[in-house]
Structure 1
Amino acid sequence: MAVRGPDGVTRRRALVEASRLFAVRGYHGTSTRDIADAVGVRQPSLYRHFDGKAAILAELLDADLLPALARVRSALDAAAPPPVRLHAYLHADVAAILGLPYDVRGLYNDDVLDLPDLAAQAARRAELHALTARLVGQGVASGDLRPADPHFVRHAITGLLLEAVRERGPSPAPDPHPRAQDVADFILRATLADPTRLPDLKTASTALVTHWTTNP
């Protein structure tokens, strides 16, 4: 499922238009001819850039999953208290997905991720979920977070992220940070053993996000 051809305007437009079609029609309801028509090229031109529809979706998914995996690993390894690392990860991750140039509303579908061509992306998503739960679990183990099932908290995080994506709509958020901050604040406020610590934790979280941004 390798991508053929050099990067270019047509290739980038194909990713954007495909993401919009997937959001409106679904993956199975979208054909490569539909994508080519939306881009304004002939179908053979599309195949010069991608092996097929699955290759397009795989790249769209990886545009989110690969950086997200790097972020959660950085959060797990950072030298900061668990709730600071969790807040920083949530802020950075939500801001990143809200700022993607693609319509991300139709990318995550359990039925589609069961397709053999998308096995690598399904595995990356499963790893991302597991590492996020581990990050929550570190806070529970340290006593900074209330006793809770880390996997349940991870599901709540996913639900808030999907709602933020739905609210964003088809285009990138002009400034994704306020809503990203809202999501991170909500999760920490709900899970902190001592919610009065949130203002100080947010200050440390902002410093960590800035560090990640300036030292990718």
Structure 2
Amino acid sequence: KSTPDATEKDPNNRLLSHAPRFRLPAEMVRDQALLTAGLLVEKQGGPSVKPYQPAGLWKELSGGEDYPQDHGEALYRRSMYTFWKRASPPPMMANFDAAGREACMVRENRTNTPLQALDLMNDVTFVEAARRLAERMLKEGGPNPLAYGFRLVTSRRPTENETRILNSALQYNRDRFQTDPTAATKLLEQGESPRDPKLNPSELAAYTTVASLIFNLDEAVTRQ
């Protein structure tokens, strides 16, 4: 996207101030969520890892052994290290158009489907990342945790209208989880990373839902 200011200051784009807009590749969508959540393990090299995946998928599709999920830091390594079974690829990667590995691909296809939104809202990786981002918002966000979390993900401050929407969503979910603490506990149990016991569960669950909303923004999965 080229703004009038960028066009005036950088008409020939020598400073790379503007470029075509497109959705991030599958690996980057996952990695940026882990990074902003403070979960990404940036260690280089080593064997492939097996992060979260729906239970029983391998056995259902290929009739062989079940998926031996890893634990600990292996769950949060960069997506380039994810083990790939061609008969049953990682669902999130497939939904976001990652190359299938059957043949060399110079350029991956890009599609936009409801399955991608369902991944961002329900995949354990993203639910856990939303919880950890919510913890960062509450512990590091100072007087305005919503704006802090929004800026971590989108690299800009929210507008007044966006701030109203975020506050409205927060209050709605705060009321919901205060009247249904069991639902809050169930949400916060997603993922293996430990939860900060000092934070109020209902409040953390409400912020987790808002963090998930931020992860689902177009800007969160698109190179502007």
**Which category of TM-score, normalised to the shorter sequence, fits these structures?**
under 0.3
Give me the TM-score of the superposition, normalised by structure 1: 0.25
Which structure shows the bigger proportion of residues in helix conformation? 1
TM-score by length of 2: 0.24
